[in-house]
Amino acid sequence: MFRGSRNSLFVLFILVASFLIIQKVNPVSNQTQPVKHESLDSIPVLSEYTNHIPIDITSNQDFENQGWPGNGTADFPYVIENLNITSDMILTSDDRCIRIEDTTVHFVIRNCILRSNAEAWGTSIQLHNVTNGLIEQCIFPYQNGAISIGRSQDCYVRDNTLFNGTGYLIWLSYSENITIDSNTIYDCDDDVFSLSDLENCTFVNNRVYNIDEPVFWLRDSIDCRIISNTLSDIMGFGVMLTSSHDCIISDNILTSTSGFSFYRSDNNTLANNTIHDTFGEGVTFMEVENCVLENNTITDAVRVWLVDISWSIVKSNLLAGTKSTSGALMLENADRCNVTLNEIHSSLGLGVRVDQNSEQNYFVSNIFYLNAGGNALDDGVSNQWDDGVSIGNTWDDYSGTGVYQIPGAAESIDHYPKAINISPPTSSSTPTTPTGFQLPEDMTLLLTIVLIGVCSLVVIVVLLRKR
């Protein structure tokens, strides 16, 4: 009896070990799954909310006069919550669900359903000349405009859901220290964020998808941050900067958009973003200077287009599979830019193209390979393709001896080139990724079968010996 139990335990141990080995070889459960958007199929049950007429507050005293709980301090803000104020309660196009103006006390608008008049240009929440406001966990369905904040400061908008909008959803203007955090916005046919004349504002961790126009349009603003947002299926630019300076755009994920556009905007940083499958440029810098484009992953985009740009840095970016036949990285009327440590490959056209009006740009420590139209073309003036000492660029079409002649009218030379030998992928091969080695699916299956067979053989041998 004891021997039978021991044999059974041993068999169970072998089978469990086999299972763990198989999971290690083929960790399906750990593979990255497609992003699933969380959306509301309908408005929540209205019985859970209290129907209320529009709210109009134009002074600190109005909070107390209208009976809202709290005392206006940071520890005990006035609270407006659990209300349903929808379009059928709004009488004229000028009405708002909630309007708060000319206040300095702390207040919270929480867990409300707010819908402006869909046939007019109403706004669900309007804050004007206020400080210390918080809007959180509200639902804004079927909007012409959801939130408008003007001439205000130190306000926070977080964890709200906005959908089925027909106009600008969030307007911010002439304000500072505003944070828009962790909101979900989807199924809208106009710009999501209309942002102008802002200072020190932050837009972080928002999820936006299925939008017919640009998402972030930042104008005439300084020292703002757009960080760690996820944007997908956008029929326009994910982020547009116009006449905005000293801003940081970083760690965003953009899929199926037109990418980023910076116009007449200086001293900005675009870093650590992931841009995939764009139908627009991917990245456009136009009439800018002193900008940084660093450590971005740009795949299946059209191109990176730098035009009328100067004194800027393009560093440590990956450009792969760009769709433009003219060039993955294009410099037009560019001068005194540093292009270093980039990896550019598998473009349908050139790897990098420098036009005749570009001069004194610096290209060092870049890697070029598998670009269908050639790796580089330099038609500019006095552009430098090595550091003048010992470091140039790496080319898959370099012979390995002598200098590397850059095609183009400039007759530029890389005096210190390096060779790289990469064969074009075939249709039957399984490509590797920068993250490491992956077994082809059929090899994984074969290895799994072998492991199961070996484990089964061990079990049989052990049982026979015990007899």
Q: Helices (H) and strands (E) in the chain — how many of each? A: 3, 44
For the segment 454-463, the average pLDDT, to the nearest whole number, is 58
Tell me, what's the pLDDT at 143?
A: 65
**Residue 450: its H or E element:** helix 441-466
113-122, 151-160, 197-206, range with the lowest pLDDT: 113-122
The pLDDT of residue 64 is above 90:
yes
Tell me, what's the pLDDT at 438?
A: 39
Tell me, what's the pLDDT at 214?
A: 87
Residue of 275, 281, 288, 278 lying closest to 257 (CA atoms): 278
Single-letter code of the amino acid located at 150: G
Residue 323 lies in a domain: yes
DSSP state of 29: G
| Integer angstrom CA distances of residue 248 from 152, 204, 258 | 22, 11, 19
pLDDT confidence tier of residue 266, bands split at 50, 70 and 90 = very high
Residue of 243, 245, 247, 211 lying closest to 230 (CA atoms): 211
276 φ/ψ angles, rounded to the nearest 5 degrees: -135, 135
pLDDT confidence tier of residue 429, bands split at 50, 70 and 90 = very low
Reading the block at residue 217, the tokens are 């349009």
The pLDDT of residue 402 is above 90:
yes
Residue 435 lies in a domain: no
CA 466 to chain centre: 62
DSSP state of 218: E
Tell me, what's the pLDDT at 356?
A: 98
Percent of the chain with pLDDT over 90: 67
pLDDT confidence tier of residue 188, bands split at 50, 70 and 90 = confident
For the segment 247-263, the average pLDDT, to the nearest whole number, is 95
pLDDT confidence tier of residue 213, bands split at 50, 70 and 90 = confident
pLDDT confidence tier of residue 73, bands split at 50, 70 and 90 = very high
Residues 6+ apart with CB under 8 A from 130: 100, 101, 102, 103, 104, 152, 155
Tell me, what's the pLDDT at 192?
A: 87
Total number of domains in the chain: 1
DSSP state of 46: G
CB-based contact 133:155 (threshold 8 Å): yes
Reading the block at residue 243, the tokens are 């006449």
Tell me, what's the pLDDT at 436?
A: 34
Cα dihedral value 399, 405, 406, 410, nearest 10:
-170
d(CA 304, CA 327): 8
For the segment 213-224, the average pLDDT, to the nearest whole number, is 94
- Per the prediction, the chain carries an average pLDDT of 84
pLDDT confidence tier of residue 267, bands split at 50, 70 and 90 = very high
Residue 131 lies in a domain: no
Residue 406 lies in a domain: yes
Tell me, what's the pLDDT at 88?
A: 53
Tell me, what's the pLDDT at 411?
A: 97
The pLDDT of residue 116 is above 80:
no
For the segment 294-302, the average pLDDT, to the nearest whole number, is 96
Tell me, what's the pLDDT at 458?
A: 58
The CA R_g of the chain, rounded to the nearest whole Å, is 29
Sign of CA dihedral 445, 451, 453, 455: negative
Tell me, what's the pLDDT at 21?
A: 42
CB-based contact 315:340 (threshold 8 Å): yes
The pLDDT of residue 80 is above 50:
yes
DSSP state of 410: T
CB-based contact 436:383 (threshold 8 Å): no
| Integer angstrom CA distances of residue 136 from 1, 80, 112, 197, 281 | 65, 11, 9, 24, 35
Q: Which residues share a beta bridge with 80?
A: 109
Tell me, what's the pLDDT at 281?
A: 86
Residue 360 lies in a domain: yes
Q: Are strands 413-414 and 404-405 parallel, antiparallel or unpaired?
A: antiparallel
The pLDDT of residue 89 is above 90:
no
Tell me, what's the pLDDT at 191?
A: 73
The pLDDT of residue 332 is above 80:
yes
The neighbour count for residue 461, using CB atoms within 10 Å, is 10
Residue 162 lies in a domain: no
Residue 349 lies in a domain: yes
Task: Name the range with the highest mean pLDDT among 116-125, 137-146, 344-353.
Answer: 344-353
Only one residue has tokens 């090899």, namely 443
Reading the block at residue 165, the tokens are 């909008």
Reading the block at residue 234, the tokens are 């956008």
52-61, 235-244, 419-428, range with the lowest pLDDT: 419-428
Residue 401 lies in a domain: yes
Q: What is the pLDDT of residues 118-143, one digit of tens each?
A: 554 568 999 999 999 999 999 998 66
pLDDT confidence tier of residue 41, bands split at 50, 70 and 90 = low
24-28, 102-106, 158-162, 322-326, range with the lowest pLDDT: 24-28
35-39, 244-248, 290-294, range with the lowest pLDDT: 35-39
Tell me, what's the pLDDT at 104?
A: 98
The neighbour count for residue 331, using CB atoms within 10 Å, is 28
d(CA 320, CA 289): 25
Tell me, what's the pLDDT at 90?
A: 46
Q: For the chain, first and last CA: distance in Å?
A: 13
CA 41 to chain centre: 25
The pLDDT of residue 155 is above 90:
yes
- Host domain of residue 387: 314-425
The pLDDT of residue 379 is above 90:
yes
The pLDDT of residue 296 is above 90:
yes
